Amino acid sequence: MPPLAYFKKQFLPISECRISIMTHALHYGTACFEGIRGNWNEEEHQVFLFRAREHYDRFHKSCRIMKLKLPLSVDELCELTQELVERSGLKEDVYIRPFAYKSSETIGPKLHGLEDDFFLTVNPPPPYLDVEKGIRAGISSWRRIDDSMVPPRAKVTGIYINCSLAKTEAVENGYDEAIMLNVDGHVSEGTGNNILLIMGNRVVTPGTTDNILMGITRDTVLRLAKEELGLETEERPVDRSELYIADEVFVTGTLSHLVPVLEIDHRAIGTGKIGPITHQFRAFYFDVIRGKVPKYREWCLPCYRKLART
């Protein structure tokens, strides 16, 4: 079956979905999106959406900031996503992208007086960072945008120019990923992920005032650190040099899951290998997102609903 989308209130193959080249969002980046993982559980033959409600709550907040009218509630978006995955018939990990955009066919930068639209796609997840081997990162010369410029707490398409510049610079310089500093010179985030440091018995990560996107995976890891590993957590400004002396560093995100950072700016992090806490985190995290840990089962929304009822 070809990849499916919910587009113009219909379920269609993605290849049949079209928008005009004059669409406002194409010219000015006036759109918001989310990325949601559906994780395949082989034992139950089930795709579980991980923390879909939290993703859609953030989606609504992004749309509010961008003056995008989203006609569907969080519950309705969850049900629609379940149906789209169910119709797709995919029996593997999936990546869902809800997308709200200014659909008017007009020229001129603004948010008011424009039409809004929404679509939803499902595909197998694209290749991203190497979860198994870990990555090498470099500090980018591109600074993370400030909330006084474009609000980084919203997943706005136009913001990702900032990330794209940093990512390409990093790859062309021989790294796998970039780490961006904020305008004050403190660590902010990667190009599509949050950064966490293990320092002794603490998990340290930049806070919202450091112009990060408040990641769902980041929040998950901070909660698991406290509840399962008994670690202290700190959300605070992080200096660049703290990255170099951390015991372990990893990045988190919907696409990246939880990826060890083995080297930053040609400096080995810890032993230069995947650290014990990162290793422990990762194994438990993958069980959680696949619905295998009863304590956190409420985070996992089943898509094949007939199976879920039996």
Query: Which element (helix H / strand E) includes 244?
Result: helix 240-245
Residues with catalytic roles: 155
Which DSSP string do the residues of 12-35 spell out, in sequence order?
Answer: EEGGG----TTBHHHHH--EEE--
**Pairing between β-strand 257-264 and β-strand 135-139 as defined by DSSP bridges:** parallel
Residue of 154, 158, 67 whose CA lies nearest to 114: 67
Residue of 90, 79, 164 whose CA lies nearest to 120: 79
Residue of 213, 208, 164, 190 whose CA lies nearest to 58: 213
114 close to 101: Cβ distance less than 8 angstroms: no
Spatial distance between the Cα atoms of 235 and 258, rounded to a whole number of angstroms: 18
Spatial distance between the Cα atoms of 153 and 94, rounded to a whole number of angstroms: 25
CA dist 170 to 24, 112, 193, 243, 282, Å?
30, 37, 15, 17, 25
Joined together, the tokens standing for residue 38 give 């559906």
Spatial distance between the Cα atoms of 33 and 37, rounded to a whole number of angstroms: 13
